[in-house]
Amino acid sequence: MTAASGEITSALVQSLVSEQFPQWAQLQIRPVEAQGWDNRTFRLGDCMAVRLPSADGYIAGLVREEQTLATLNSRISVAIPRVLATGAPSAAFNRPWSVREWIDGHTLAAVDASDRERAIDSLGDALAKLQACDTGGGPWAGRASAYRGCHVSSVGEDVQGWLPLLNGREADGCRKLWDAAVATVWTGAPVWVHGDVAPGNMLFGSKGQLAALIDFGQTCVGDPACDLAFAWLSCSAGERDQLRDRLTLPEDAWLRGAAWALWKALISSPEDVLAKYGRSRDAVLSDVADLTAG
């Protein structure tokens, strides 16, 4: 049994770095505070990080993310992680892993309320720049991107299963929103889609300015509507208006974005919605339902 079958520890990471990248063997290894689900991340000294898939099923995502970062690196003006080295599977850990540049910053949850407007504006600007990048060589939306970048109807089976569990006005409004959204389609050229725009996947400076976008495991080329789900999952009505001002997207894209938010809220527990996105599940569903009121 290899270490990949059990816990990924600082000691394991230290041994992997020492074996494959001895030039960094003397640097301190320590786990980051907030760990993701697909990967485990450890600081390597002050300027680097080690990222390791937490299960075999996430290997393809790590490899795909590395390729995406390499493709985007010379095209996007927003800071993104840079892969410095790729570790090979070994007897100690039978999955590939990578060493990346560490980017300082804090997540949206830690942005001071007085700086929140600047944070949302700078995020909108970053997404606009991402959507404007040359898409040549980018990975197409599909199963490998967890259907991010695809038409929202790709998650319709989930929504159809959960909608009957809602009650009253909320159920009616959400159903109307879903029906309206799936009747629309992206008619522009495919654009870059981050795929997981969430408070934990963006880093901000001390005054609320966006410092970097991270976690490109679901990034692809397709319909950008899924990235707009953030506007309902994490934003107030005023902040949604800010994003609309920064992103020159058609109205139907926002409908599909709300439908993506509806899907995420329906398949997630109230605790998970609040913890990951910063708003209550009820608030998200209420805002989505209100879109088709009247």
Give burial (CB, 10 Å; 0-12/13-18/19+) of 79.
Answer: middle
Beta bridge partners, 202, equal: 213
What pLDDT, on the 0 to 100 scale, is given for residue 35?
77
Across residues 234-260, what is the average pLDDT? 97
* 53 neighbors 38 (Cβ within 8 angstroms): yes
Please give the share of the chain, as a percent, with pLDDT higher than 90. Answer: 88
CA angle at 242 for the pair 241 and 247, rounded to the nearest 5°: 95
Let me know whether 97 and 112 are in one domain.
Answer: no
Give the residue numbers spanning the domain of 240.
108-290
Q: Is the pLDDT of residue 122 over 80?
A: yes
| 282 CB neighbour count, 10 Å cutoff | 13
- What pLDDT band is residue 294 in, cutting at 50, 70 and 90? low
Domain with 169 in it: what CATH number? 3.90.1200.10
Let me know whether 116 and 250 are in one domain.
Answer: yes
What pLDDT, on the 0 to 100 scale, is given for residue 5?
47
d(CA 247, CA 129): 9
Let me know whether 194 and 233 are in one domain.
Answer: yes
User: Radius of gyration (Cα) for the chain, nearest Å?
Assistant: 20
What pLDDT, on the 0 to 100 scale, is given for residue 100?
96
Q: Is the pLDDT of residue 1 over 60?
A: no
d(CA 149, CA 258): 14
Let me know whether 247 and 229 are in one domain.
Answer: yes
- What pLDDT band is residue 37 in, cutting at 50, 70 and 90? confident
Beta bridge partners, 191, equal: 222
Let me know whether 67 and 123 are in one domain.
Answer: no
Higher pLDDT among residues 30 and 167, named by residue: 30
At residue 171, φ and ψ (nearest 5 deg) are: -65, -45
Let me know whether 54 and 191 are in one domain.
Answer: no
Identify how many contiguous H helices and E strands the chain contains and give both numbers.
Answer: 10, 9
Let me know whether 136 and 13 are in one domain.
Answer: no
Last residue of a domain, one of 71, 101, 131: 101
d(CA 71, CA 201): 19
Helix (H, G, I), strand (E, B) or coil at 256: helix
What pLDDT, on the 0 to 100 scale, is given for residue 4?
46
Last residue of a domain, one of 60, 77, 101: 101
Averaged pLDDT score across all residues of the chain: 94
Let me know whether 246 and 187 are in one domain.
Answer: yes
Let me know whether 269 and 196 are in one domain.
Answer: yes
What pLDDT, on the 0 to 100 scale, is given for residue 255?
97
Contacts of 97 (CB under 8 A, 6+ apart): 16, 50, 51, 52, 53, 62, 86, 87
Q: Is the pLDDT of residue 195 over 80?
A: yes
Let me know whether 32 and 133 are in one domain.
Answer: no
* Kind plus residue range of the DSSP H or E element containing 48: strand 48-53
Domain with 65 in it: what CATH number? 3.30.200.20
The number of domains in the chain is 2
Across residues 26-47, what is the average pLDDT? 91
Instruction: Find the range with the poorest average confidence among 26-30, 103-107, 126-130, 131-135.
Output: 103-107
| pLDDT tens sequence across 197-245 | 999 899 999 899 999 999 999 999 999 999 999 999 999 999 999 999 9
Last residue of a domain, one of 66, 82, 101: 101
Let me know whether 15 and 86 are in one domain.
Answer: yes
Let me know whether 58 and 114 are in one domain.
Answer: no
Q: Is the pLDDT of residue 126 over 80?
A: yes
Q: Is the pLDDT of residue 2 over 60?
A: no
pTM for the structure as a whole: 0.92
Across residues 28-36, what is the average pLDDT? 87
Across residues 145-166, what is the average pLDDT? 96
d(CA 216, CA 219): 5
